[in-house]
Structures are given as C-alpha cells and as structure tokens.
Amino acid sequence: MIESISQKTNRSAEEILTTGLQKAVGPRVGMACSFSVEDLVVIDLLRKYAPQTVIFAIDTGRLHEETYEVAEALLQKYQVQIEWYLPQTEELQQLEREKGLFSFRESLENRHQCCHIRKVEPLDRALKTYNGWITGQRRAQGATRNSLEGIEIDKAHGNIVKINPLVDWSDEQVWAYATEHKLPVNRLHNQGYPSIGCAPCTRAIKPGEDIRAGRWWWENPENKECGLHRR
C-alpha cells in the first residue's frame, strides 16, 4: 500500500524511486524538471535505475538565462530529450494586456493568477499524459513542504502516483552528491540562490534566511508555493 511506504523513515532515494515506479502502473512516468540541483540529482539517479523515464519541463517565458544553460548541459551530459510545455498564448496575452508585466507583485491573487497561467495549467496539461510523476522536493525546503512523503497519491492530478526520492535529504547530502558526480548545477546556486524560479520572482538570500526566502520575498512564508504541488 502507498500508506505503508509513505510512513517509513530513513528510506534511500533508490528505494523510494524504485518502489514508486512499481506503484505507477502504466507506460509513462515523467520527471518534472525545473533544473534545480535537486532535480539534477534525481535525473542522475534515473539514468542508473530507470533510464526510460521521460523528463519534462515548463518554460514559463520568464526563466533565468542560467536555467536554460543547465537544460542544454543536461542534453549534452545524458543525451536525453526534454519534453517542454509552455503557457497557452491567448491566456498569457490577455493577462499582460489587462494587468501589465508585474501584476504578480500587487496581490496574492494576482500572483496566483500568473503562476496558474505560466506554470499550473502547463503542468496539468502535461500530467494528463502520465501515470506518475517524479519531483526533487525535500522536507528541508521550508514550511510548505514539511509534511511531504516519499510516495504520495496526487489527488489533484487524477490520483496518479507522485514520487519524491529526495524527501529526507539534507542540503549537505544534495550538494555532496552533485559535487561527487560533477553535475552541471545552475550558476545562480553559487550566487546565493538556493531556490530558483522565474527571474522576477527570485532573489539571492541573506545568511541565515530560510532556503525559500528568495522566492516571492514580499509574501508570507506559508504562501510560497506556485500551485504546482497542490496538496
């Protein structure tokens, strides 16, 4: 049962990954890649344990140049294809015509609207083609993720299996793996960006700040999700 594996502790990423893939009955399981250091770790694990897994990504239209550089580096390192999903053109055009380019800073409602158009709708569209999906989420990434489980049933996306292999990993474990395996990490990570999203909504953090303090920094911590991981 999903519940029994979800409640275990001290599981290895490999155990979570392989067990989750067994639960995701069907031919297509996708890795949702935002090109963070965590996602690179998961992709490296997938090349070893499940090389058939599809990698997909959402191009919001406002990603950092450095993020695109990581995508290209992945293509070179692993010779993999990435399935890209983009926002619906008409919805995006209407948003920018009616509210301008920075409406997301005016209210939480506006920010959620922008995230929905640029991220959530493309993800929903992508996941309709999958039986399960894999993420690089970790409990250590902030208050909004501290109840995360290694393997979950994603009720928001038709009860497909959601697999979070790195759920128990610390920052130190992630970076030790990335360094040992020479992963092509985003240059912004070395400039104080532990969490990287769209360029206008991401900043470097100060020493001692929460790992996600640089995401939507004008909002309260409990709001710092874009809706991709609805629970």
Give the CA diameter of the chain. Answer: 50
pLDDT over threshold 80, residue 225: no
77 part of a folded domain: yes
- Residue at 115: amino acid letter: C
- pLDDT for the residue 46: 95
pLDDT category at 145 given cuts 50, 70, 90 is confident
Least confident of 56-60, 104-108, 193-197, 217-221: 217-221
What does the alpha-carbon distance between residue 194 and residue 188 come to, in Å, rounded to a whole number? 8
Model confidence band, residue 196 (pLDDT cutoffs 50, 70, 90): very high
Q: Is residue 94 part of a domain?
A: yes
**Is residue 214 included in any domain, yes or no?**
no
Q: Which domain holds residue 158?
A: 2-191
Which own/partner pairs from 75-81 qualify as long-range (CB within 8 Å, at least 24 positions apart)? 77/184, 78/43, 78/47, 80/43, 80/47, 80/55, 81/55
Q: Can you tell me the mean pLDDT for 123-137?
A: 93
Give yes or no for residue 6 having a pLDDT over 80: no
- Computed over every residue of the chain, the mean pLDDT equals 89
Q: What is the CATH number of the domain that holds 8?
A: 3.40.50.620
Mean pLDDT (whole number) for 42-70: 95
- What's the structural domain count of the chain? 1
200 within a domain of the structure (yes/no): no
Within a domain: 178: yes
Lowest mean pLDDT across 88-102, 116-130, 208-222: 208-222
For residue 204, being part of any structural domain is answered with no
Question: Is residue 202 in a domain?
Answer: no
User: Would you state the pLDDT for residue 211?
Assistant: 83
226 located within any domain: no
pTM > 0.85: yes
DSSP 205: P
Pairing relationship of beta strands 132-134 and 160-163 according to DSSP bridges: parallel
What six digits make up the tokens of 86?
């983009």
Catalytic residues: 226
What is the reported pLDDT for 4? 37
Assess whether pLDDT exceeds 90 at residue 26. Answer: no
